[in-house]
Amino acid sequence: MIEKAVQYAEEKHRTQNRRSGEPYITHPIKVARIIRENKESHKINELISAAMLHDTLEDTTASEKELKELFGELVLDLVKELTTDEQEKEKLGKKEYLAEKMKNMSSWALVIKLADRLDNVSDLNSTTPEFKKRYTEETEYILKEIETKRKLSPTHKKLIKQIKEKIK
């Protein structure tokens, strides 16, 4: 399943690049690696696959039907949970939207979202000082919200600690 998710994500993100200029696929690969290094689960293959696919509904031509057929209901549900609702984001503001979303998502989706955030903060030195400042402030706000307003697992706490170390 993981290999199929890697191939699918590579195909779907083939023409996209990160802000740093590197191919976009490096991001989901790093997020999946963070999951593998930090999470133990009887559903680890599904979690890693969802990490590989977490931006496909949002940023590519992937469809829910296709993801369900290829990867099953759990992976589809996680990817849907991780997909930004642009209208809600516009209505609430980005950091407020993300904090609210992360306070209410499933534990597994939050692990993937925190791994996503950890990889993103790891790349901040390759961005502009303005973007770095804005993203760091957004991250600090989100972490404060989820730390004070939701139950966190040991894995969540470990990933939050790693994020905080990166944005010091």
Residue 59 among the catalytic residues: yes
> Per the residue annotation, which of 10, 59, 100, 138 is the catalytic one?
59
> Given this model, what pLDDT does residue 127 score?
86
Distance CA 91, CA 37 (A): 36
CATH code at 99? 1.10.3210.10
Domains of the chain: total: 1
Residue 77 among the catalytic residues: no
Contacts of 74 (CB under 8 A, 6+ apart): 43, 46, 50
> Per the residue annotation, which of 22, 37, 58, 64 is the catalytic one?
58
Range of the domain at 20: 2-167
Contacts of 127 (CB under 8 A, 6+ apart): 19, 20, 135
For residue range 90-116, list pLDDT tens digits in order. 999 999 999 999 999 999 999 999 999
Q: What angle do CA 45, 2, 50 make, to 5 degrees?
A: 65
- 63, pLDDT greater than 90: yes
Distance from the Cα of residue 155 to its chain's centroid: 15
